[in-house]
Amino acid sequence: MRLFGNQKGFGVLMAATIGVPLYVCGGGTIPLLMEWLSSGMSMGSATAFMITGPATKITNLGAVKIVLGIRRFILYLLFSMLFAFLTGLLVDSLI
């Protein structure tokens, strides 16, 4: 949790990146994040993780890839991670 808390910019980036392959459903995310927050995770990192998880749900990714193609699929992933990262930084700067 030191990774997600002390180094806020890097922690937010890591949370946004980890949220992509480590999708946890909405009900499972809350207890996980509550534990991480009590261990020292920053609110910005938690925000980034919460954004990338649902955005990169396997069914969503499959639909995006089939409908839009591989190039737009990659852009979707990059945009989701960038948006989560910037939103996490904003949350950390406000809190």
Query: For 56-89, how does the pLDDT look when each residue is reduced to its tens digit (9 = 90+)?
Result: 888 878 888 999 999 999 999 899 999 999 999 9
The confidence score (pLDDT) of residue 53 equals: 80
pLDDT in tens, 9-48: 888 888 888 887 776 766 777 888 888 888 888 888 888 8
How far, in Å, CA of 2 to CA of 91, rounded?
Answer: 18
3-state secondary structure string, the chain? Answer: CHHHHCCHHHHHHHHHHHCCCCCCCHHHHHHHHHHHHHCCCCHHHHHHHHHHHHHCCHHHHHHHHHHHCHHHHHHHHHHHHHHHHHHHHHHHHHC
Q: Is a pLDDT exceeding 80 seen at residue 8?
A: no
Kindly report the pTM of this predicted structure.
0.82
**28 vs 13, 24, 48, 71, CA distance in Å?**
21, 6, 16, 31
Q: What is the pLDDT of residue 46?
A: 87
